[in-house]
Amino acid sequence: MVDPIMYYAFICVISFFLSFIYAYRWNKHLDVHMTIVFVMVPVCNLEYYLMYTSSDINAAIIALKMLYIGGCFLPWVITMCIANLCNIKVNRLVKMSTFLFNSLFYIFVMTIGHSKIFYKSFSIEKKGSSCIMLKEYGFFHNLYYVVIFLYLVVDLALIIFAYRRKKQSSRRILFILFLPIPINIMGYIINHYMIIYGIEIIPITYVLGQILYLCIVHRMAIYNVSDMVLESMVESGDTGFVTVDFKKRYLGSNETAREILPDLNRLIVDGPIDKTDALKETLVAWIDKYSLNQEMGKHVFYRPSGILSDDERIYSVTVNYLFDGRKRHGYQIFLEDDTQNQKYIQLIDKYNTDLQKDVAIKTERLMEMHNNLIMGMAMMVESRDNSTGGHIRRTSEGVRILIEEMKKDEKLNLSDSFCKNIIKAAPMHDLGKISVDDAVLRKAGAFTTEEREKMKKHSAEGARIVHEILKDTDDEQFRRIAENVAHYHHERVDGTGYPDGLKGNEIPLEAKIMAIADVYDALVSKRVYKEKYSFEKANEIILEGMGTQFDSSLQKYYESARPKLEAFYSLEQ
């Protein structure tokens, strides 16, 4: 037969030993409820030993009341522990109400020896070196068993729910959490029979529970991924962290942070960080920025010396709130060594900059070749026309002078690209003449009606040629302007021009500008069929054409450009 004294003493020693192992394995990530379990269980087993070695009824009752601290509150603590391990949040009101409910039962326990509501009777019978407790349970003790059973049902429900719905809960831990439930049920069932021999089975179930929870402790650190990663970053030596409360008082930092920000060594805990000038530019500025947008991540970088050298370090700065559970207490600032990444990025940026310069130079050369090709074609056309020597160069300059005056008027809101493109497109306005027969193009006298119709076709043909030349260009605006200049520079605002008889605003602005420069050059230049007109006569003809041949809204720009036009053509004569 088992000696009850030796039995309870052995169970007590084992229980304390298991709690010692837990204390040795303890870390801050362990659930507080689990820690309470490992504190309460050895205390309860000690009370079992004291109760069954007591020869005095009053001492036995005191030990019994102490024992029920675990009996009343351990089920609640274990349920809260299971909920946390299953990643199930328990409402604070539920926590408090269930705790108060268990406290009420402990109040009934305190009536043992004074009332019959929990124990009807309690006595000690000496049997050898040990005592046997003779108990007669009252109503509330029987109700106590019902409450214990309900807690076991809730524990089982939490585990089943987590198994089905919580994918981030370890199945191995859930299985270990399940094992104490049938053990406890069996313990309470057979406890009634074992107590006849002075032995209660409940202490064994407590010890088995400790062993199972130690198995959980062994796995918990592995599953707590976020904390493990954070600790690895901190312990790696490259990551520094600083904590500050909402009043910008220093709470603490690690050694790496103090190496990165030496002024931290001068601070005392709870001292203000905004009293140190160097920290105003770093910690205070980072916190203020985070407070404004709460989106500050690894896009803020810090160089201790401010100058990048071969041995200089670059740190990415991250600011977040400092939490204690759900409550914010301040800010946490992390400084992670990002030197290699930043140097690599700078190397890539330099390479991209050099590449962009090379591309820009080659593109400019290609554009120059392209423009020279176009100019060459225009010059080739001009060389076939006896009457228009120098016309391309002069009209291009005329367009530039007109554009300069128009750019002065902010109401027109001409873009730089438009102005640049129309000047570049001006030499292409007569490319269509390449399709005109030499007999017509090089005729020394006036055209017949048939010859004039053939000549008129050069504008539409010029637009087609320009389109073919520029159809693959990336500059869509230049292509459109060049086509319009070639196609419509002989249109008139009164609708009597060619080739399409457009009028008014139907004619593109670039074509209207080209028309003035084209006609002006024809008037003041010598042709095989006429002498050049004086500037006064040419001006008179241009002004007479405003509103019929030319757009009258361009008159003021022509008039302001007239001195420059006359100065240019004076040098050409």
What's the CA gap between 316 and 300, in Å, rounded?
A: 6
Higher pLDDT, 191 or 174: 174
Higher pLDDT, 476 or 371: 476
What's the CA gap between 23 and 30, in Å, rounded?
A: 11
The pLDDT of residue 169 is 67
Close Cβ partners of 178 (under 8 Å, ≥ 6 residues apart): 156, 159
Q: How confident is residue 297, by pLDDT bands cut at 50, 70 and 90?
A: very low
Cβ atoms of 185 and 152 closer than 8 Å: yes
pLDDT per residue as tens digits for the range 356-370? 888 878 767 766 766
Cβ atoms of 91 and 166 closer than 8 Å: no
The pLDDT of residue 56 is 81
3-state secondary structure labels for all residues of 337-404: ECHHHHHHHHHHHHHHHHHHHHHHHHHHHHHHHHHHHHHHHHHHHHHHCCCCCCHHHHHHHHHHHHHH
pLDDT per residue as tens digits for the range 401-432? 999 999 998 888 889 999 999 998 888 888 88
Q: How confident is residue 184, by pLDDT bands cut at 50, 70 and 90?
A: confident
Q: Is the dihedral of CA 137, 138, 141, 143 positive or negative?
A: positive
> Long-range contacts: 172-179, Cβ < 8 Å, 24+?
172/219, 173/85, 173/216, 173/219, 173/220, 173/223, 174/86, 176/212, 176/215, 176/216, 177/82, 177/85, 177/86, 177/212, 177/216, 179/212
Selection from 29-43, 164-178, 372-386 with the highest mean pLDDT: 29-43
Closest C-alpha among 148, 175, 172, 145 to residue 159: 175
Closest C-alpha among 213, 214, 205, 176 to residue 21: 214
Please name the amino acid found at residue 80: M
Mean pLDDT score, 38-50: 89
What's the CA gap between 324 and 345, in Å, rounded?
A: 37
Q: Which domains does the chain have, with CATH numbers?
A: 4-223 (1.20.1070), 229-337 (3.30.450.20), 356-572 (1.10.3210.10)
Whether the predicted pLDDT of 268 surpasses 90:
no
- The proportion of the chain whose per-residue pLDDT surpasses 70, expressed as a percent, equals 83
What mean pLDDT value characterizes the chain? Answer: 82
Higher pLDDT, 251 or 440: 251
Mean pLDDT score, 121-133: 71
Close Cβ partners of 437 (under 8 Å, ≥ 6 residues apart): 454
Q: Is the dihedral of CA 364, 365, 367, 368 positive or negative?
A: positive
The pLDDT of residue 225 is 44
Closest C-alpha among 6, 37, 20 to residue 205: 37
- Give me the sheet containing 250-253, strands edge to edge: 250-253, 239-245, 327-337, 315-324, 300-302
Cβ atoms of 434 and 465 closer than 8 Å: yes
pLDDT per residue as tens digits for the range 502-523? 999 999 999 999 999 999 988 9
Q: What is the DSSP letter of 56?
A: S
Please name the amino acid found at residue 211: I
Whether the predicted pLDDT of 131 surpasses 70:
no
pLDDT per residue as tens digits for the range 67-119? 888 888 989 998 998 888 888 888 889 999 999 999 998 999 898 888 889 88
pLDDT per residue as tens digits for the range 188-219? 777 665 555 557 888 888 899 889 888 888 76
The pLDDT of residue 101 is 92
Whether the predicted pLDDT of 560 surpasses 60:
yes
Q: How confident is residue 496, by pLDDT bands cut at 50, 70 and 90?
A: very high
Phi-psi region of 215 (alpha: psi -120 to 50; beta: other; left: phi over 0): alpha
pTM: 0.46
E strands, 118-268, are 119-127, 130-137, 239-245, 250-253
The pLDDT of residue 389 is 52
What's the CA gap between 340 and 267, in Å, rounded?
A: 31
Q: How far apart are the first and last CA of the chain?
A: 137
Mean pLDDT score, 257-275: 86
Q: Exposed e or buried b for every residue in 514-541, given b needs 16+ CB within 10 A?
A: bbbbbbbbbbbbebeeeeebebeebbee
Residues in the chain: 573
The pLDDT of residue 256 is 86
The pLDDT of residue 536 is 93
Alpha helical stretches, state H, 426-475: 438-441, 449-456, 458-470
